[in-house]
């Protein structure tokens, strides 16, 4: 565990999720309405398009309310990051896969619930990004197999363990699971895994994607805080 958290990118992702989890639950314990809090803090919902809260497509992937939801997602994040770190030299890919898969999963959710079903919904959690890691690892496996590498991914035990936990979580875990987000994240991760060889060889492209992801996250966080502050000032 210590050697794993020596990776600053894994530590950063875990820290952001943990900080969000603690802040949200602290405010809920103080009596703040859950739905209003989640919407104001970046949850994906009907208000994402209605109020043009476009930062929701990013920040919703870091929000957890229930401990079980948080625990399973962070467990999966750590185990999958371990697999990715063994076969990908540039650990910035952890940030790239997490954010791009999360953003794509948010757009899939919007397309399915708001556009196709025209339904009310609130979606939070890192599950879309987690399924992005699963897709990414499968994409790497496909790439290695196509290039004649019979060994493929080095350590599949952690990967299969996460798959098992993901199935159990879907069957017995939190309610109202967003399968559209899972599919969208998986699809994005799979595409990233297949094209990873080009990104790996092109350091400039990898750096551009990484810097873009960090900029998008920081901008989203700033805009959310700005609007939250403006709403408080109006009160």
Q: DSSP readout, 121-186?
A: -EE-SSHHHHHHHHHHHHHHHHHHHHTT-SS-SS--HHHHHHHHHHHHHHHHSSSS--HHHHHHHH
Local structure of 45: helix, strand or coil? strand
How distant, in Å, are the alpha carbons of 10, 42, 47, 62, 185 from that of 20? 16, 10, 20, 7, 21
| Structural domain spans, the chain | 2-234
Question: Residue 172: is its pLDDT beyond 60?
Answer: no
The answer to whether domain 2-234 has CATH 3.40.50.300 is no
At 4 the pLDDT is 56
Local structure of 44: helix, strand or coil? strand
- Residue 200 or residue 185, greater confidence: 185
Question: Residue 15: is its pLDDT beyond 90?
Answer: yes
Helices and strands (DSSP H and E) totals, the chain: 12, 2
pLDDT grade for 24, boundaries at 50, 70 and 90: very high
CA-nearest of 32, 24, 21 to 73 is: 21
Instruction: Give me the chain's average pLDDT, please.
Output: 83
User: Are 213 and 101 a contacting pair, CB within 8 Å?
Assistant: no
Residue appearing with tokens 């499968």: 138
Question: Residue 184: is its pLDDT beyond 60?
Answer: yes
Q: Give 184's contacts (C-beta < 8 A, 6+ positions apart).
A: 101, 104, 105, 106, 107, 108, 109, 128
Question: Residue 97: is its pLDDT beyond 60?
Answer: yes
pTM of the model: 0.89
Task: List pLDDT tens digits, range 200-224.
Answer: 667 788 889 999 999 999 999 999 9
Share of the chain above pLDDT 70, in %: 80
pLDDT grade for 153, boundaries at 50, 70 and 90: low
Q: Nearest 10 degrees: CA dihedral of 47, 26, 9, 227?
A: 30
């Amino acid at each position: 565990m210590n050697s794993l958290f020596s990776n600053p990118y894994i530590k950063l992702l875990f820290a952001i999720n943990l900080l969000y989890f603690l802040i949200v639950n602290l405010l809920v314990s103080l009596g703040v309405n859950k739905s209003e809090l989640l919407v104001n803090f970046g949850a994906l919902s009907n208000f994402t398009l209605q109020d043009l809260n476009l930062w929701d497509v990013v920040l919703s992937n870091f929000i957890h309310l229930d401990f079980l939801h948080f625990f399973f997602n962070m467990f999966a994040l750590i185990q999958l990051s371990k697999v990715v770190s063994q076969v990908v030299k540039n650990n910035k890919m952890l940030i790239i896969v997490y954010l791009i898969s999360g953003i794509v999963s948010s757009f899939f959710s919007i397309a399915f619930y708001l556009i196709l079903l025209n339904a009310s919904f609130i979606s939070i959690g890192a599950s879309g990004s987690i399924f992005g890691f699963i897709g990414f690892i499968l994409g790497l496996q496909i790439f290695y197999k196509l290039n004649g590498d019979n060994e493929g991914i080095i350590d599949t035990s952690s990967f299969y363990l996460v798959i098992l936990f993901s199935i159990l979580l879907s069957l017995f875990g939190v309610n109202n699971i967003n399968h559209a987000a899972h599919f969208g994240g998986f699809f994005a991760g799979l595409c990233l895994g297949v094209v990873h060889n080009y990104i790996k060889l092109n350091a400039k492209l990898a750096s551009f994607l990484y810097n873009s992801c960090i900029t998008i996250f920081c901008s989203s966080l700033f805009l959310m805080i700005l609007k939250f502050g403006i709403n408080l000032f109006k009160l």
